[in-house]
Amino acid sequence: MSQAAGYRVHHLTRYHYGSPVTLSLHLLHLLPRPLAQQRISQQQLTISPEPSQRQQRLDPFGNPVVNLAFDQPHRELSVELTMELWRQPRPPEQPSPSWQSVVNAFAYHGQPLAADLLEAQRYRYESPHVHLKRNFADYARDCFGEDTLLLDGCRALMAKIHSEFTFDASATDIATPLLTVLKERRGVCQDFAHLMLACLRSLGLAARYISGYLLTLPPPGKPRLIGADATHAWVEVFCPSNGWVGFDPTNNCQPDLQHLVVGWGRDFTDVSPLRGVLLGGGSHDPEVEVTVLPIEEISTAD
């Protein structure tokens, strides 16, 4: 059986404002949530300049969130997170029911839904970036036959998106409609996660957006680049016999030791790493540096 894998994550976001910011409020989804398969051994969140107010709480989905307020003029903002966490292998998969039986389980049958089904209901509906449309159900239809098992259908849909779509960082932005992504067949991990969510929800299934990090491997013979990684996105579908099961359409794999979870929600809107409102500032673009290193590599280097 595979052993736990340890990682050190460094995530730095810098803003350089064209003019002074006199007042700003920010919402951070950077601190990872502890899970059965994920343990955080240490973490440090450093903010510069020092905020006038800083509050940590849980959002409606149970994710750790940090609220920041600044009431003094500033021309730069730096948000730096350093953490170490340990990831356990995903549990063995139990036999899957058919996808249609799972859809039927969400229907009202004269009795209250079980607690896990009731909690999963919120991930069956539209959200700001994921709409329910026949286009998405039609795209997924050949992956979900009449007797297809739920997890088999999800694996087929994941592989279909991976094979038919091209990763292109310049093709989309957060405002690109999902129907455009479906038509153009290009995008990034966020787009592919949203597309898979739209397909699954349009079929009546419960699926949620996962925000986190992915350990990337350098080309053979090349050193790992510091600061060149990025946040990642994938999906989880609710399966009554297994709970929430992950699928990564960008890489055509089921998340395991190399996928580190920060949080989840209905789509990117619920778990955006850093967003806010500000008075002043002029033009500004964030500089983001992310590095994910295995603990064993750090120990070897030391």
**187 φ, ψ to 5°?**
165, -160
Task: Answer yes or no: do 179 and 142 share one domain.
Answer: yes
CATH code for the domain of 165: 3.10.620.30
Tell me the longest C-alpha to C-alpha distance in the chain: 62
CATH code for the domain of 78: 2.60.40.2250
pLDDT at 79: 97
Collapse the DSSP code of 168 into the 3-class scheme (helix H, G, I; strand E, B; otherwise coil) and give the result: coil
Report whether 156 contacts 171 (CB < 8 A): no
Task: Answer yes or no: do 110 and 231 share one domain.
Answer: yes
Task: Answer yes or no: do 141 and 199 share one domain.
Answer: yes
Q: Is 0.75 topped by the overall pTM?
A: yes
pLDDT at 299: 55
Task: Answer yes or no: do 60 and 178 share one domain.
Answer: no
Q: Is residue 93 part of a domain?
A: no
In the chain, alpha helices (H): 99-105, 115-120, 134-140, 150-164, 178-184, 189-202, 295-301
β-bridge partners, 69: 25, 53
pLDDT at 157: 98
Task: Answer yes or no: do 258 and 291 share one domain.
Answer: no
Task: Give me the number of domains the chain comprises.
Answer: 2
Q: Is residue 126 part of a domain?
A: yes
Q: Is residue 202 part of a domain?
A: yes
Q: Is residue 160 part of a domain?
A: yes
pLDDT at 1: 42
Q: Is residue 251 part of a domain?
A: yes
The CA-based angle 286-289-290, given to 5 degrees, is 135
Nearest to 10 by CA among 35, 39, 36, 42: 42
| Residue 255: half-sphere exposure toward Cβ, Cα within 13 Å | 27
Task: Answer yes or no: do 58 and 108 share one domain.
Answer: no
Q: Tell me how far apart the alpha carbons of residues 75 and 214 are, in angstroms, rounded to a whole number.
A: 32
DSSP structure string for 228-296: BB-EEEEEEEEETTTEEEEEBTTTTB---TTEEEEEEESSGGGG-SEEEEEEE--S---EEEEEEEEHH
Nearest to 161 by CA among 142, 177, 133: 142
Q: Tell me how far apart the alpha carbons of residues 203 and 228 are, in angstroms, rounded to a whole number.
A: 37
Q: Is residue 247 part of a domain?
A: yes
Task: Answer yes or no: do 255 and 297 share one domain.
Answer: no
Task: Answer yes or no: do 206 and 256 share one domain.
Answer: yes
Task: Answer yes or no: do 107 and 236 share one domain.
Answer: yes
Report whether 242 contacts 149 (CB < 8 A): no
Q: Is residue 94 part of a domain?
A: no
The tens place of each residue's pLDDT in the chain, 302 residues long, gives 458 899 999 999 999 998 999 999 999 999 999 899 999 999 999 999 999 999 999 999 999 999 999 999 999 999 999 999 999 999 999 999 999 999 999 998 888 889 999 999 999 999 999 999 999 999 999 999 999 999 999 999 999 999 999 999 999 998 999 999 999 999 999 999 999 999 999 999 999 999 999 988 776 766 665 555 789 999 999 999 999 999 999 999 999 999 999 999 999 999 999 999 999 877 777 899 999 999 987 755 54
Q: Is residue 223 part of a domain?
A: yes
Task: Answer yes or no: do 257 and 160 share one domain.
Answer: yes
Q: Which domain holds residue 175?
A: 99-270
Task: Answer yes or no: do 265 and 283 share one domain.
Answer: no
Task: Answer yes or no: do 231 and 84 share one domain.
Answer: no
